[in-house]
Amino acid sequence: MVTILTPEEVRAKYGTLFCQGFYTIVDEGSGKARIIEKCSARGPAEWDLVNRRRTGGVIDEINIVGTTLVMDVTLGKADLKFGPASAELGGQGVMSCTVEGNEVRTTWKGIAGASLGVGACLPGCSDVIRTEYPDDFKMGGAHTSCVDIITPKMVRVLIGVDDTDTKEKGATWACALAMAKACPYGIFMEHKIVQLNPKAPNKTTNCCSTVVAFAVKEDEVSKLVEFCFDYVKKGSYSDAAVITVFKGLTVPEKLKKFGWGAKSILYAKEDAIKVAEECGVQIINVTGDGGIIGAVAAIGCADLGPEAAGVPEDFQ
């Protein structure tokens, strides 16, 4: 028999702990998922990173940004490898990640002090739907704990934006950031300013486009896109504004190559349209079509890190 607790019931039983955000983004087409965990302090996040990396399980890659852990995982199940360190160091890991309709089930195991994290900290986060505890559940001390945490199934949506400004007023990055912060759908995750070829003949000043990333429930994707379209249409100063839409965790290599190339190559609109069609990018002309190249390139640069903000010679 299993005991099921909501986040409110977990907090009532164990108190309010340290997890400030916990959600799962799924890309079923590629068999991958991304688990995002926001912690209230960097120390616990660093400890979790090292322990989860050590145990392996379904985690392919784990990184930390500030106090946020980003875990890329393979959908399915895999054994944890606590190894000889577990007796003296404890340990924690993710044994499985599976999609069940509109929900995602992740199975966590913690040893000793790490069991508090999987048994009380993560389950108490308000982003969680419920946590399932086995009858013999105990945590802390020398105990080993295993729980199933169920969260809403979310997908990643990238929105590229370009040409909302003129030489006299406006800035695409500012319009896109305001749009992302105002959006009532999903979770605003990231905003990147993408430097493009400064020799582009139709640029305003800096020749930058922007990409914004959201985690959103699948049935709200169309609402999110509609909101972004309306916001850019109202906020654009130009007659050339374009937005682009891409859904998924993995940006295709061909699209990445186009995004990086747009920093030094003067592409034609037809080039952007072709790569968008081949890579599953939707192009939406908002007030015109002048921003097609930049808005498609922005999607290609979404996962480049600091390279998105520069040109090739900055990284030689």
Q: How do strand 59-65 and strand 32-39 relate by DSSP bridges?
A: unpaired
Dihedral sign computed on CA atoms, order 231, 233, 234, 239: positive
Query: Alpha-carbon distance 231 to 183, whole Å?
Result: 9
Query: Alpha-carbon distance 287 to 32, whole Å?
Result: 36
Do 202 and 184 contact (CB within 8 A), yes or no? no
Do 297 and 259 contact (CB within 8 A), yes or no? yes
* pTM of the predicted structure, to 2 decimals: 0.92
Query: Alpha-carbon distance 147 to 236, whole Å?
Result: 48
Q: How far is CA 23 from CA 284, 295, 308, in A?
A: 29, 27, 25
pLDDT for residue 87: 47
Joined tokens for residue 52? 């989860």
pLDDT for residue 200: 76
* pLDDT in single tens digits along all 316 residues of the chain: 899 999 999 999 999 999 999 999 999 999 999 999 999 999 999 989 998 998 889 999 999 999 999 999 999 999 988 765 544 455 789 999 999 999 999 999 988 777 888 899 999 999 999 999 999 888 876 778 899 999 999 999 999 999 998 778 789 999 999 999 999 999 999 999 999 988 877 766 778 999 999 999 999 999 999 999 999 999 999 999 999 999 999 999 999 999 999 999 999 999 999 999 999 999 999 999 999 999 999 999 999 989 999 888 877 7
* 3-class DSSP assignment, residue 111: strand
Q: How far is CA 131 from CA 11, 51, 76, 148, 225, in A?
A: 12, 22, 19, 6, 32
Do 291 and 209 contact (CB within 8 A), yes or no? yes
Joined tokens for residue 248? 């998924």
Dihedral sign computed on CA atoms, order 55, 98, 156, 182: negative
pLDDT for residue 90: 53
Q: Please report the domains of the chain, with CATH numbers, ordered by start residue.
A: 2-154 (no CATH), 163-315 (3.30.70.2200)
Place of tokens 């080993």: 144
Query: Alpha-carbon distance 185 to 121, whole Å?
Result: 26
Farthest CA pair distance, the chain: 68
32-56 exposure pattern, b = at least 16 Cβ within 10 A, e = fewer: bbbbbbbbeeeebbebbbebbebbb
Q: Which helix (H) or strand (E) holds 282?
A: strand 282-285
The angle that helices 269-279 and 253-261 make with each other, rounded to 10 degrees, is 160
pLDDT for residue 139: 81
* 3-class DSSP assignment, residue 225: helix
Place of tokens 């992740």: 106
Query: Alpha-carbon distance 34 to 52, whole Å?
Result: 14
pLDDT for residue 8: 98
